[in-house]
A and B are shown apart, each in its own frame.
Chain A
Amino acid sequence: SAVISQKPSRDICQRGTSLTIQCQVDSQVTMMFWYRQQPGQSLTLIATANQGSEATYESGFVIDKFPISRPNLTFSTLTVSNMSPEDSSIYLCSVEDQVASGRSAFEQFFGPGTRLTVL
């Protein structure tokens, strides 16, 4: 399975600033995903990032607030812009790793997450 790293692992930021989170994969993958996990909550998909195209955002998330880059098949960044305390969450990236099992079965593997606290 793919090995995924994220930087930074955690950060404390001031209101109104922006933070860029990096996601690095040890193999080339087509689909990368960004999730938010608010304190004590489940994971919510922010957007899907495919190399060579604009990210596709889920309802409630917009590009101006969460710009995403996907410059190649092993790397992506998520920026949390103009932060407020409500943005305090864990942000996780994941990749889809197709597993051959007679018929394709798609599994997503997750990075370790970035814990963001906004003061």
Chain B
Amino acid sequence: AQTVTQSQPEMSVQEAETVTLSCTYDTSESDYYLFWYKQPPSRQMILVIRQEAYKQQNATENRFSVNFQKAAKSFSLKISDSQLGDAAMYFCAYLDGATNKLIFGTGTLLAVQP
């Protein structure tokens, strides 16, 4: 069965600095998708960025980028120029392309210090 592991329960970053959140996963599939979701205190799940496994190029969305290492099954999220509004719980998620099921990691709580 697929699993997603986030080894950092909590992280802290200074405003305007850069922080990287780690995620590893385990799968025997070749066709899948990876996502980072943000959940602020309002509890609304917000999609931050997605990566298709067949794409070698790392996805980028404004200040958010990923480092996708398929062979190592690693999918880290880099947040540049951190802002106070980035403070939230971040979940890494794996989607099986055959079943369309999302499997979530345990989350990383990010604090942004002014």
Contacts and interface: CB of A to CB of B under 8 A. Distances in A.
B92 to A, nearest CB: 10
Interface residues of A, number: 24
B68 interface: no
Contacts of B50: 105, 107
A37 to B, nearest CB: 8
Contacts, number: 52
Interface string B48-61: 00101010000000
Given A106-B100, A107-B47, A115-B43, 8 more contacts: A42-B105, A43-B45, A43-B102, A44-B104, A48-B101, A90-B43, A94-B102, A106-B33
Given A42-B91, A106-B33, A31 B43 contact: no
B45 A110 contact: yes
B101 A45 contact: yes
A9 to B, nearest CB: 10
Interface of A: 31, 33, 37, 41-45, 48, 90, 92, 94, 96, 101, 103, 105-110, 112-113, 115
A110 B104 contact: no
A41 B45 CA distance: 14
A43 B42 CA distance: 15
B75 interface: no
A105 B102 contact: no
A-B pairs with lowest CB-CB distance, top 9 = A110-B45, A42-B104, A43-B104, A113-B43, A42-B106, A112-B44, A42-B107, A105-B52, A108-B102
